Structure 1
């Protein structure tokens, strides 16, 4: 499997659709996960959208996660080793 520079294990042919991402995000609260408020979520996503380590428009190269899922979870922080890009 070909790896992308800096990515934690995804290959170039792995893609996740918007519908799949939306379904994951929508399931978080219903499955008992502690989620952040919408304003915090939007702020986190704005920070991620300007990050040079955002791959494929949805994957963080530092941790390999879908940023829209990670950003929704209250117990998660930005995995940037140089320091969190998230204010909260």
Structure 2
């Protein structure tokens, strides 16, 4: 169970669900980073204290696996982008 960033409801989200959502959304995108940069970005996200539930950015509410793959996105940390 995890609390939704947009409300106070708890929802049950599996890693498989997150992966499926990310894969489906990425099919709609064309401006993606190479795997090497993606992995570096995810490493930063995974070590960030604002990472929620192992997959959600505490600053913007995105699945980090999705945001990190998009070339036109940056880290939304209010302390300054970490990638």
TM-score by length of 1: 0.77
SS of the counterpart of 2:81? coil
Q: Is the contact made by 2:26 and 2:66 (CA closer than 8 Å) also made in structure 1?
A: no
* Unaligned ranges ≥5, structure 2: none
SS of the counterpart of 1:72? coil
Aligned to 1:16: 13
Q: What is the number of equivalent residue pairs in this alignment?
A: 81
The residue correspondences of 1:30-45 to structure 2 (distance < 5 A) are: 30-45=27-42
Q: Is the contact made by 2:56 and 2:63 (CA closer than 8 Å) also made in structure 1?
A: yes
Greater Cα offset, 68-77 or 16-25 = 16-25
Moved >6 Å (runs of 4+)? none
CA RMSD after TM alignment? 2.1
C-alpha distance in structure 2 between counterparts of 1:85 and 1:41, whole Å: 13
How far apart are residue 28 of structure 1 and its match?
Answer: 4.2
